[in-house]
Amino acid sequence: MLGPLGDIVVLDLSRALAGPHAAQMLGDLGARVIKVEHPDGGDESRGWGPPFVGPDHEISTYFLAANRNKQSIAVDLKSADGKRLIERLVRQSDVLIENFRTGVLDRLGFSVERLHELNPRLVILSITGFGHDGPEGGRPGYDQIAQGEAGLMSLTGPSPDEPYRVGASIADLLAGIHGAYGVTGALYERERTGRGRVVRTSLLAAITGVHAYHGTAWTVGGKVPAAGGNHHASIAPYGAFRCADGMLQIAAANDGQWKKVATLLGIDPDAAKYATNRDRFAHRDELIADMEKALAAHDRAHWLARLGEEGVPAGAIRTLDEVYAWDQTRSQGLVVEVEHPVLGTIELPGPPLRFDGLEGFEHTAPPALGQDGDAVLAWLEERER
């Protein structure tokens, strides 16, 4: 199989979004991903919608977003036969992904010790809501709960009095990304040590791990950041601005870019209140008002063209249909075509990484529940010979 992980087998016991997203990322890198689902309904995200598509409107587009490049087998983890099959699969796998609440996998008979007894080379990725230990270890958590508890909602929205959730399930997605990143590191380490290890992350860790300058504003600067709408917490001008027919975004992150913006808009770039970023930020409300007064003279297309000519970072605020129709999106491989057993040819959001020489990588559609049971068993028997 094509891809950097073409010889890696991933046993995906996870469901919902964080774990499946991590497994999907590994699948995008060429790994064989075997998704284990309960025979009664499978992954819970199969029931999440709308929208639902298909002849009987039974296929969740939510599920389609996190399960490309996988095979599905239906297994009851509580049954004796199911446990035996999982043991066989563990012996033949390189990676196991799970996002059960702390202790669940142990009660099913698959503690870390047991898994490494079956396969000492196994890399185990465990994703939880708030961590597997600590005073609140094992606490259940979904994305929006974690966004609030990890402080992200306090940074998002029009004002400190109106905290907003980020539109995408960013805690889940980042946990999946961090998890896949950890797995690749553990696989590389295994080449030296010959042994696998446990990689742990959580929704709490995923959000806290990307606080970046907001985090150091508090830990070093002693300032508690707060929501500031569509404008940057440290740089001005950097945000969304009104023009004649709507809004556009302008990011002047240094004084050189600011001078270009100011000259274009007829504002004195060297005025004392606007001369440096510190000055501009201190007078940000006045700066926004001056800029929007000038921008009101023309439409978005006019200003984006002029700003582009000057080399100033600027852009539209697109809806998702516009994003997926955009030639630039498609040129980057961010839309992939797959053949679904029920829906036929469909387009899915594509992987964010591109590897030179792998342009011919063929993605597979998210599977129907248990559709690959026979194929996986045949592969497993071949591996065991």
Which residues partner with 97 through β-bridges? 12, 125
Alpha carbon 352 to its chain centroid, in Å, reads: 10
What is the spatial distance between Cα 244 and Cα 255, in angstroms, rounded to a whole number? 26
Which amino acid would we find at residue 63? F
∠ Cα 315 317 320 (to 5°): 125
pLDDT value, residue 357: 83
What is the spatial distance between Cα 282 and Cα 161, in angstroms, rounded to a whole number? 21
pLDDT in tens, 77-101: 999 999 999 999 999 999 999 999 9
| Segments of the chain scoring below 70 in pLDDT | 1
pLDDT in tens, 230-255: 999 999 999 999 999 999 999 999 99
DSSP letters of 289-305? HHHHHHHTTS-HHHHHH
Task: Round to the nearest angstrom and report the end-to-end CA distance of the chain.
Answer: 21
Number of Cβ within a 10 Å radius of residue 317 = 12
What is the spatial distance between Cα 299 and Cα 297, in angstroms, rounded to a whole number? 7
Number of Cβ within a 10 Å radius of residue 300 = 20
What is the b/e burial string over 50-86, where b = at least 16 CB atoms within 10 angstroms of the residue's CB? eebbeeeeebbbbbbbbbbbbbbbbbebeeeebbebb
Number of Cβ within a 10 Å radius of residue 375 = 12
Q: What are the catalytic residues?
A: 172
What is the spatial distance between Cα 183 and Cα 132, in angstroms, rounded to a whole number? 17
pTM: 0.93
pLDDT value, residue 1: 52
pLDDT in tens, 334-346: 999 999 999 999 9
What is the spatial distance between Cα 307 and Cα 74, in angstroms, rounded to a whole number? 55
**Cβ neighbours for 298, distance < 8 A, ≥ 6 positions apart:** 243, 244
CB 264 within 8 A of CB 243: no
